Amino acid sequence: MIRVKSGENILYATLSERESVASPVYSLKLTSKENKSNPKTVTPTDLSVAGERVNKLRIEVVTDSNLEDLPNGLVFLNGGDYLYEIRNNEDKLLEKGVLMYDTTLQSEDYTDNNVTEKVYNG
């Protein structure tokens, strides 16, 4: 399972070991589990270095549908679970799975200057 958040996301996948194309261009097809009639196919940026076993793919989840630019790795998603397929430019399926986009989780830095430590001797 892959989890994404709003903003830039780096996805890790093992694609190179199943690859037969010299300079592949990958596509990431996202199909909502709730609305299967409207899949989106985004072109991630491949940040991988030749010889690495794990591919690093960059996409950006935008919060405004007007900013969506699928060929350039920008995708607008509603919260929920998506089925994903990663294919190369010969349409060969290299990986599939579930992608989760939870819009309710917010990351927040937490600092507590009043830490109380208790030691219990049992």
For each of the domains in the chain, give its residue range(s) and CATH number, in order of start: 2-101 (2.60.40.10)
Q: Cα dihedral angle (7, 12, 16, 21), rounded to 10 degrees? A: -20
Cα separation of 68 and 24, whole Å?
23
Residue 121, SS3 per DSSP: coil
> What token pair was written down for 38?
């409207």
Tell me the C-alpha to C-alpha distance, in Å, between residue 64 and each of 17, 32, 37, 74, 96: 36, 18, 21, 10, 26
Residue 121: the pLDDT is 63
Question: How would you write the pLDDT of the chain (122 residues) with one tens digit per residue?
Answer: 899 999 999 999 988 877 777 788 999 999 999 988 899 999 999 998 877 788 999 999 999 999 999 999 999 999 999 999 999 999 999 999 999 998 775 555 556 666 666 666 65
Q: Which residue reads 């596509």 in tokens?
A: 27
What residue type is assigned to position 110 of the chain?
Answer: Y
Residue 118, SS3 per DSSP: coil
Give the side-chain half-sphere CA count within 13 A for 82.
25
Chain mean position to CA 9: 6
Residue 116: the pLDDT is 65
Residue 112: the pLDDT is 63
